[in-house]
Amino acid sequence: MSVDTRFIDFLKARIGLDVGSVGISVIERAVRQRIASAPVSDADAYWALLQDSSQERQALIEAVIVPETWFFRYPESFSALTRLADQRLASLAGSRPLRILSLPCATGEEPYSIVMALLDAGIAAPLFRVDALDVSPRLIERAQRAVYGKNSFRGAPLDFRERYFSAVEDGYLLDAAVCRQVRFQCGNLLDPALLADQPAYDLVLCRNLLIYFDQATQESVLAGFRRLTRPDGVIFIGPAEASLASRLGLQTLAIPQSFAFRYPAAVPASPAERTPRLLPPASHNALRQPCMAPAHKIESRAQPSVSHGQRPVMVPRADEGAVAQLKAIARLADQGHLAEARQCCERLLAEQGPNAEAFYWLGLLSDAGGKPGEAQKFYRKALYLQPQHPEALSHLATLLVAQGDLAAARRLQVRAAQGVDKDA
């Protein structure tokens, strides 16, 4: 069947969906499935049913929406989030809890990841609260059930699963203490009254949603986020949306790979927040390890800000092994010495030959430097040597989404999930 434009217009008005972002075939398939499931025989009868049934309207929306999420997706964002949370709590000095918003929350992996990251950073549960919204009641119900299969655990390390989950018959059940920190509710981002009765949020996470809207809807949504975010608050978006945010006037915090922004009238970022940090997914043990500080401690644990010019640049020696050199490259990038990190990667490759991790790092450094085409080439080289490299798969898929190549991105996501199924 050729999809009726009425259904395209319905989805545009209801959830702001730009048909070009998902492809006409996705909507055709969803309408066809719903006609087959409903007590109707053709598109006209189904359209009449859609007008009369709120339940069917929701069913069509959910047939089109295919959530793609997993725990600690974009790990660098969670590293930045914990640092910013620490700084904000220090300024609040116990006057109120930190307020965090996650939307669309899908099946709950993102808001629960926020909670685990903050708890691991030593931030006590009473000091923060996470609100999580999604347009789908079905997805909200699954999130509240908090039982997850292997596909929700991708990449490494997975030590958080040992700390916060219990194995059950159909997957892994999340600890109730984590679940209690999240308040789920249904809500439509296009509703101008959304959360109108709630105070603004310190931190807002909305990743990989704007790419499905046309420009007018994107601008409307970002204007709505301004109402939901405190003047000194921070909004995290998806990698493919960073250029859009900049074009529409948001100001980056310049924390590479975090995709964190403020609105122009916001209080200027502190020096510690302006210091670029590039944390590779493979080096997030510090994020996931329980903090040894007392659980009630709320003062900032951020190190004093030091300009890059004052830091000694510890370049690895040529006679060091590949593992030691890669650790040094990670350290350089983490300190913001991106050019030096790149030079060390190139030297390692020249001296020791092809290395998947070195190519991955070059991709990450190119990505952070705003060179997506170059980054793609390096990620592909990493995958040629190590086909199931989880971070290279994830970052390359994100770049392909930004290009509009959703089919290729989906294939990479399937590959990453297959790697998890083999290893988990």
Residue-wise pLDDT for 387-423, tens only, equals 888 888 878 887 786 676 777 777 887 776 665 444 4
Q: For residue 77, give the nearest of 242, 199, 188, 227 by alpha carbon.
A: 242
pLDDT at 272 (0 to 100)? 40
Quote the CA–CA distance of 92 and 80 in Å, as a whole number.
18
pLDDT recorded at residue 66: 65
The sign of the dihedral angle between the CA atoms of 58, 59, 65, 68 is positive
Read off the pLDDT of residues 82-128 as tens digits, 9 standing for 90 and up. 999 999 999 998 899 999 999 989 899 999 999 999 999 999 999 99
Long-range contacts, 255-259 (Cβ 8 Å, 24+): 255/76, 255/80, 256/76, 256/338, 256/368, 257/74, 257/76, 257/77, 257/364, 257/367, 257/368, 258/76, 258/77, 258/79, 258/80, 258/81, 259/74, 259/77, 259/207
The pLDDT value given to residue 423: 45
Give the pLDDT of residue 84: 95
- pLDDT at residue number 71: 94
Look up the pTM and report it. Answer: 0.60
Q: Which residues of the chain have pLDDT under 50?
A: 1, 266-312, 420-424
The per-residue pLDDT for 238 is 80
Residue 315: per-residue pLDDT: 54
Structural domains in the chain, CATH included, are 5-64 (no CATH), 75-281 (3.40.50.150), 316-423 (1.25.40.10)
> Quick one: pLDDT at residue 293?
32
